[in-house]
Amino acid sequence: MSLLFDKSVPGRHGFRLPKSDVPEPLPLDRSYLREEDAPLCELSELDIMRHFIELSHRNHSIDSGFYQ
Amino acid sequence: MEVSNASLYDGGTALAEACQMAIHATDRDRIVVDGGVNPVYRKMLDCYTANLSISFTEIPVTQGQSDRGHILDELDENTAAVILQNPNFFGVVDNHSDIVEACHARGILVIQSVYPAAMALLKPPGEIGVDIVTGEGQSLGIPLSFGGPYLGFMTTTRSLVRKMPGRLVGRTTDRQGKESFVLTLQAREQHIRRSKATSNICTNQALCALRAHIYLCVLGKSGLRELAKLCYAKTCYAKSRFRAIPGVEVMESNPTFNEFTIRVPIDAGDLAGLLVERGIAPGLPLGRFYPGMQNYLLVAVTEKRTKYDIGTFAEEMESVLRH
């Protein structure tokens, strides 16, 4: 089973935020800002759902076998 | 940051565990706490460590910001760590790299409590050399649920990993050379050397951590940044609306993220009560935590609030103050 980061495709996302309905603020001073984006994976909702469903099927639990 | 554990109860207990970690790592017994750290967390630190020989020194903020000079004056050879928060309790954004540098020059660790959504935009603690990072993960898709369960997170550097409490998962290969994940470095915990355990915390918020993980996957790299920008824009808009209300003063120092403080002409608790009657929960009266700040209200605005919501809030406040 491949990892989420292996499945990541640049530019893909699972949710679209509403457009801002307020004026654009003055930007924060650069000394407060991070230089690169947080290294998160980029996946569609379907990619994510399939990944976690596959993971859940691999889980051993009291419903699928002996559990001490 | 290089290592994360599998979560802790909440932001406050994560911070308390970080203090114990710093004490063990440095063999010193004093912690300097910036007054911008959430007062609820500070109370939890006192409660959590009441029977341990750890002394805390709190440094009040100046104009809502970390008082650098005062913090540096308090550092001595017994100081294990300095606790900072970004954005702090008043929502004030800071770049603590100067404090981190001064602490490291004296062999003192820096613990920073952070608001995770803000980290998509702000300078991350790893970039400025913070040693232990903790925080509350409720905002990562966890419902408020009348107070919990929530999610504490803790990350650190590889050099401190053996002092870190809680569950650690490591990536390795099995006998067939297949990639796998295992609970690792368990000698740190009570499994083997109970008397020398890093901590006796074993419980974690795995379900909440999984939910936060899925939330971060769904938003992704660009989504989290957009979310943070939206939060910042709405906060700035709310501040502009409150500035226009006669008798209300927005406390200005550094920029703020999500939260900001306003001074109102009446008791903030009374004002909050009047606004609740109009269907608006306006924020947190600060007199509850800071003596002398009875007229100050901490207001929070996130991406969930629309321009209309913010406008209505400002209009209702103006109307209440006029009558």
Section B76-105 average pLDDT: 97
* Nearest chain B residue (CA) to A53: B214
Paired tokens of B80: 């294990």
pLDDT at residue B185 in the model: 86
**Six-digit token pair at A13?**
């996302």
Mean of pLDDT values over B99-118: 97
From residue B307, give the alpha-carbon distance in Å to each of A21, B232, B246. 6, 13, 20
Rounded distance between C-alpha atoms, residue B166 and residue B164, angstroms: 7
Query: Which residues 230-249 on chain B approach chain A with CB closer than 8 angstroms?
Result: 230, 232-234, 236-237
Exposure class string for B110-122: b at 16+ Cβ within 10 A, else e? bbbbbbbbbbbbb
What's the DSSP call for residue B8?
B
B214-225 b/e (C-beta count within 10 Å ≥ 16 → b):
bbbbbbbbbbbb
How many C-beta atoms lie closer than 10 Å to residue B294's C-beta? 16
Backbone dihedral region for residue B64 (phi beyond 0: left; psi -120 to 50: alpha; all else: beta): left
User: Is B74 at the interface with chain A, CB within 8 A?
Assistant: no
Asked if A33 lies within 8 A of B123 by C-beta distance, the reply is: yes
Q: ipTM of this model? A: 0.93
Q: What is the pTM of this model?
A: 0.94
Q: How far B24 CA sits from the closest chain A CA (Å)? A: 31
Q: How far is A59 from chain B (nearest CA, A)?
A: 13
Q: Which residues of B touch A34 (CB under 8 A)?
A: 119-124, 127
Of B119, B214, B308, the CB nearest to A38: B119
- In terms of residues, how long is chain A? 68
The partner residue sitting opposite B218, judged by closest CB among A25, A39, A45, is A45
| A7-50 pLDDT tens trace | 999 999 898 898 999 999 999 999 999 999 999 999 999 999 99
Which residues of chain A from 7 to 66 reach within 8 Å of chain B, CB to CB?
Answer: 11-15, 17, 20-26, 28-29, 31-35, 37-43, 45, 48, 52
pLDDT at B195 over 90: no
Statement: residue B188 has pLDDT above 80 = no
Give me the pLDDT at residue B274, please. 97
Q: Which residues lie below 8 Å from residue B30, measured CB to CB, with a gap of 6+?
A: B54, B55, B56, B57, B76, B78, B79, B80
Q: What is the pLDDT of residue A66?
A: 87
Helix (H, G, I), strand (E, B) or coil at B263: strand
In contact, B82 and B75? CB cutoff 8 Å: yes
Going by C-beta distance under 8 Å and a sequence separation of 6 or more, which residues neighbour residue B77? B28, B106
Confidence of residue B190 (pLDDT cuts 50, 70, 90): low
B222·A42 Cβ contact <8 A: yes
**Domains contained in chain B, CATH given:** 3-204 (3.40.640.10), 221-322 (3.90.1150.10)
Question: Which among A17, A32, A42 has the least Cβ separation from residue B95?
Answer: A32
Nearest Cα residue in chain A from B92: A32
At position B79, the amino acid (one-letter code) is T
Q: How confident is the model at residue B178 (pLDDT cuts 50, 70, 90)?
A: very high
Q: B253-294 pLDDT, tens per residue?
A: 789 999 999 999 999 999 999 999 999 999 999 999 999 999
